[in-house]
Amino acid sequence: MFYLYAIGVLTLAWSCHAEPFNTFDGPGHPACNNVAKVYNATSVEQMQSIVRDAAKSDTPVRASGKGHMWYDTMCSDDPTTIIIRTEDVNKISDLNLPEGASEGSVMIEAGVTFLQLAEYLHENGASVGYTLVNWNITLAGSIAMGAHRSSLREDSMVAAGALELHIIDGTGNITVVKRDNNNDDWLAASTSLGLLGVIARIKFKVYPDFKVYAQQKILTEDEVLNGDIYEMIQPYATANFWWWPFLKKFHHRYYDKIDINNSTQEGFQSTFSVTKTEADLALGILNPGKYLATSNQLAETTFFALWSAPNFHEKTTDKAILTWPVYGWNYDVLIGGLYPGYGTEWDFGLRGLTLELAFPVTQANAVLKRVRKAFDDSAAAGKPMTSTYRSGINIKFGKAYFDLLGQVTTNTSDGADWSQGAIMFDFPSFQPTIGDKLRYNEPFYHNLAQALITEFPCRPHWTKNTREVFTLAKDKIDATHLARFKKAREKFDPNGIFKSIVGQILGLYD
């Protein structure tokens, strides 16, 4: 009894003490610099009651799924902020896909991850199509922040699959917002940045289950920079490039549907699985790269060779698949997960920083050539740059999708043609674990971001950028869209309890 009492007192003491709330990368990687308490909610009703109590005392609230983001931009800097962790609010219900129907729906709660939903649907002969982003992320967190897969042909914003969003507003009540492009409530909720409230439930579109292939080819830099990029990406259900700037090569990865009877192979993709030994070897090359360009060049050459082979195992035997193309169930191939017995990169200290900016795909060649010029200028100044991330610089694409704050929205006042979709320049880099932890030629990354934002119509990804990048990019967001969003936000959350740094930088609060 005394023991329980002591734990209670300690918990209370801890809850009153402001401390960081970390991203998936753990201590030293705050999503929020100071929070007063973290609630591990277990039901939608409990989340409502937490918000109701917070509203009474004007306490700032943020929801968090899996913390799969990079920088300290989740909350505002108010140390009285509380976090509602949604992980244990994860029921799936009301699957409705009648025999022979081309699409149906399912209801999911805030903490449901892509992997959890995909496994459930697969067991029931259904899938979420091409809105799969990653295995270790919640759909609600993805929709809140405008996350997306890579496709110019198919809808790949996760929000594109949402039919209804049930949002706990600033009074603790649930407002149901249905897909309706003529309603600003919907257009704000579709990429809400978590500023309207907690997404508690989502009615999500489903399709009959299907199989896909994954194929990968190696292209020269010249073939991409001077090629028809749209034609290299648009024909496929999902496609992207990985850029290896030191080697001047690209991996061109693409996926599409196959007849379910075409192959018995069950390919399972993993992008994060490593053993401790592999991670230690990688750290042994990447950390000296803080000081030596040659070490980074060795890392890029090694990673390029590793990623030229399929990053897939056969699911039924866990044996490595050695040749392209790879076949399998859509979710195993498109997102996969961890190989049995492996850890994630971040479990073993391999951590990254990133930058992601979207540009109109009509300017794709100009953007990539501008980046190449930055690489060339840096090399000429004696600081050759490389990719220090496991699979190269990720070049993704997004089909146009209209909402107020999404990365691939259209009809904006910048006058740029976003109607054909967007190219996303996603530049992850290894963060050294030694010394001052700054990267080799650290100013390069900041100067490149500034140049790209200044010189092109552009939009930031909402969880893959620093405060510095949001501040630089805020004027690139359509002012009318921001004003319409602010009006919707004020309706859902008049007292601004769901505020965040991103919302503040965008001027969504008075």
Ligand X SMILES: Cc1cc2nc3c(=O)[nH]c(=O)nc-3n(C[C@H](O)[C@H](O)[C@H](O)COP(=O)(O)OP(=O)(O)OC[C@H]3O[C@@H](n4cnc5c(N)ncnc54)[C@H](O)[C@@H]3O)c2cc1C
Q: Write the interaction track for ligand X spanning residues 487-506; mark x where CB under 6 A is met and - where it is not.
A: -------------x------
Window 95 to 114, contacts with ligand X (CB under 6 A): 110
- Residues contacting 69, CB < 8 A, separation 6+: 23, 24, 31, 145, 463, 464
- Among the residue ranges 94-102, 134-142, 259-267, 304-312, the one whose residues contact ligand X (CB under 6 A): 134-142
Q: How far is the CB of 23 from ligand X (least distance, A)?
A: 7
Rg of the chain in Å (alpha carbons): 22
Within 13 Å and on the Cβ side, how many CA atoms surround 152?
26
- Provide the 10 A C-beta neighbour count for residue 377: 13
Beta bridge partners of 307: none
Q: Is 198 in the site for ligand X (CB under 6 A)?
A: yes
Phi and psi at residue 359, in whole multiples of 5°?
A: -135, 160
Nearest to 286 by CA among 154, 201, 388, 362: 388
Question: Please, are residues 448 and 354 in contact by the beta-carbon 8 Å criterion?
Answer: no
Q: Is 126 in the site for ligand X (CB under 6 A)?
A: no
For ligand X, which residue of 30, 34, 41, 65 counts as binding (CB under 6 A)?
A: 65
Q: How far is the CB of 125 from ligand X (least distance, A)?
A: 26
For ligand X, which residue of 41, 121, 132, 145 counts as binding (CB under 6 A)?
A: 145
- Enter the tokens of residue 99: 């025999």
Q: Is 408 in the site for ligand X (CB under 6 A)?
A: no
Q: Is 128 in the site for ligand X (CB under 6 A)?
A: no
Residues touching ligand X, count (CB under 6 A): 28
Q: How far is the CB of 26 from ligand X (least distance, A)?
A: 12
Nearest to 329 by CA among 95, 119, 101, 107: 119
Helix axes 293-308, 276-286, angle to 10 degrees: 140
Phi and psi at residue 474, in whole multiples of 5°?
A: -60, -35
Q: Is 144 in the site for ligand X (CB under 6 A)?
A: yes
Q: What are the C-alpha distances in Å from 254 to residues 233, 239, 326, 362?
A: 8, 4, 11, 20
Phi and psi at residue 21, in whole multiples of 5°?
A: -110, 115
Q: Which is nearer to ligand X, 97 or 237 (CB)?
A: 237
Q: Is 68 in the site for ligand X (CB under 6 A)?
A: yes
- Among the residue ranges 51-59, 66-74, 90-98, 319-327, the one whose residues contact ligand X (CB under 6 A): 66-74
Window 76 to 95, contacts with ligand X (CB under 6 A): 86
Window 304 to 343, contacts with ligand X (CB under 6 A): none
In angstroms, the CA 97 to CA 95 distance is 6
Q: Write the interaction track for ligand X spanning residues 147-176; mark x where CB under 6 A is met and - where it is not.
A: xx----------------------------
DSSP three-state, residue 312: strand
Q: Is 421 in the site for ligand X (CB under 6 A)?
A: no
Q: Is 74 in the site for ligand X (CB under 6 A)?
A: yes
Q: Is 194 in the site for ligand X (CB under 6 A)?
A: yes
For ligand X, which residue of 34, 131, 134, 378 counts as binding (CB under 6 A)?
A: 134
Q: How far is the CB of 189 from ligand X (least distance, A)?
A: 10
Q: Write the interaction track for ligand X spanning residues 431-450; mark x where CB under 6 A is met and - where it is not.
A: --------------------
Q: Is 404 in the site for ligand X (CB under 6 A)?
A: no
Q: How far is the CB of 350 from ligand X (least distance, A)?
A: 11
Question: Please, are residues 132 and 118 in contact by the beta-carbon 8 Å criterion?
Answer: yes
The DSSP code for 439 is P
Q: What are the C-alpha distances in Å from 48 to residues 171, 420, 428, 476?
A: 9, 40, 37, 35
Q: Which residue is nearest to ligand X (CB)?
A: 65
In angstroms, the CA 159 to CA 64 distance is 17
Q: How far is the CB of 97 from ligand X (least distance, A)?
A: 24
Q: Residues in the site for ligand X, rule: CB under 6 A? A: 24, 62-69, 74, 86, 110, 133-134, 137-138, 140-142, 144-145, 147-148, 194, 198-199, 463, 500
